[in-house]
Amino acid sequence: MPLHLLNTVRRLALLGLGLGLATLATAQTSPATKATAKATAKKPVVILFVGNSFFHGHFQSVLKYNTGSIVDENAAVPERSPRHERGGPWGGIPAIFKKLTDEAGMAYEVHLESISGMPLKFHYDSVRAVVDRPGWDAVVLQEHSMWTLPARRTGHPDLFQEYGTRLEQTVHARNPKAKVYLYETWARADQTYPEGKAYSGLPVDSMTQDLHRGYYSLAKRNGHIAGVAPAGDAWLRAIQEGVAVRNPYSPEAGKVNLWGADNYHPSNWGSYLNACVLFAEITGQDPRKLGAKEQAAADLGIAPEDAVRLQRIAAEQVRAARKAEPAKKS
């Protein structure tokens, strides 16, 4: 065979081999890797979570979860700053949310601005520069766990309404197309079962109902809130359906405890349920599709069957809330 023909044959053979290897590599790529690559290729949704320890999670397993995947806006700020807290950067529930979106093949750039114990008034008065920044596609606001409640239950509902609205207006003045969500918190066992507390002698249902009224009343009155992530309602649903314990001071076998050791902040299971609720409300996707092999649950030591149950509770609560009380879209 002439030399030039031989070289041509060799080039074609090498080309065919290369195409075959590429096809094989593509076929052997795992679904998770494909989803991550797909998410990376998209323009991300830039989302900011504003709140306190009910976002960052308080306990180390959640507080330090997946920290490298999100931006903690308060990490490494000077000690003189009102935003300063030792121990960051933090991941928390927003970092679990980030993990879920990655696994679902969605592109989210997640930012966290959380300061322990602080209400929305503090964030408006002292940290507004973070909220008043161009580039946010979505912002999620979480009030202090007691401030949305009626005044007779030690709440500050007027301040919640005022500063929730002020922060929404701040977001939309800078980012008119941004979606602003509210993150409904959950009943505190430490305010229900011990004596001398705001809800002593009442079931956790009572505090949940007051929290629900507080968050949904702001969404309705404001008119520019894209939605409420009903985490507190999802906790009550999990309790009523026998998935979670009602009273953490009297543990029940075979049920998960959504509260952590202080009967106040969320446990790994409570944090995971919250993240699934946020995932369902914000992305519009069904968390049940994540399934028993979902990685964040495994990382947090949550059994596959419990992860599936919590995914179901989140999906059902978000669907029920949208039917019952649809918020206006901004």
Residue 75 burial (CB < 10 Å; 0-12/13-18/19+)?
Answer: middle
**Residue 86 above 80 pLDDT?**
no
Count helices and strands in the chain by DSSP H and E runs: 13, 6
User: Does 312 or 13 have the greater pLDDT score?
Assistant: 312
pTM (two decimals)? 0.86
Is-contact 279 205, C-beta < 8 A? no
Grouping H, G, I as helix, E, B as strand and the rest as coil, residue 112 is strand
pLDDT-above-70 percentage for the chain: 86
Residue with tokens 């009297």: 250
Domain locations along the chain: 43-324
Bridge-partner residues for 326, per DSSP? none
Phi and psi of 183, rounded to 5°? Answer: -115, 100
Q: pLDDT tens, 284-329?
A: 999 999 999 999 999 999 999 999 999 999 999 999 999 887 555 4
Which pLDDT band holds residue 7 (cuts at 50, 70, 90)?
Answer: very low
The confidence score (pLDDT) of residue 78 equals: 75
Where is average pLDDT lowest: 8-12, 55-59, 118-122? 8-12
DSSP-assigned letter for residue 244: B
Residues 6+ apart with CB under 8 A from 147: 119, 120, 155, 156, 157, 159, 160
Averaged pLDDT for residues 213-230: 97
The confidence score (pLDDT) of residue 4 equals: 46
The confidence score (pLDDT) of residue 5 equals: 43
Cα angle 10, 11, 12 (rounded to 5 degrees) comes to 90
DSSP state string for 91-107: -HHHHHHHHHHHHTT--
Structural tokens at position 146: 């007691």
Residue with tokens 């404001």: 222
Which segments of the chain does DSSP mark as H helices, in order? 3-28, 31-41, 53-56, 60-63, 92-103, 120-126, 128-131, 157-174, 204-222, 231-240, 268-283, 295-299, 304-324
Question: What CATH number matches the domain at 43-324, 3.40.50.1820, 3.40.720.10, 3.40.50.1110, 3.40.50.920?
Answer: 3.40.50.1110
Averaged pLDDT for residues 268-285: 98
DSSP-assigned letter for residue 70: S
The confidence score (pLDDT) of residue 45 equals: 98
**Residue 19 above 90 pLDDT?**
no
User: Does 78 or 40 have the greater pLDDT score?
Assistant: 78
Bridge-partner residues for 46, per DSSP? 109
Bridge-partner residues for 141, per DSSP? 50, 182
Is-contact 62 271, C-beta < 8 A? yes
Where is average pLDDT lowest: 28-32, 210-214, 271-275? 28-32
Q: pLDDT tens, 114-160?
A: 999 999 999 999 999 999 999 999 999 999 999 999 999 999 999 99
Name the residue among 117, 60, 119 with its Cα closest to residue 90: 60
Written as one letter, the residue type at 230 is P
Structural tokens at position 25: 């590599």
Residue with tokens 């290369």: 18
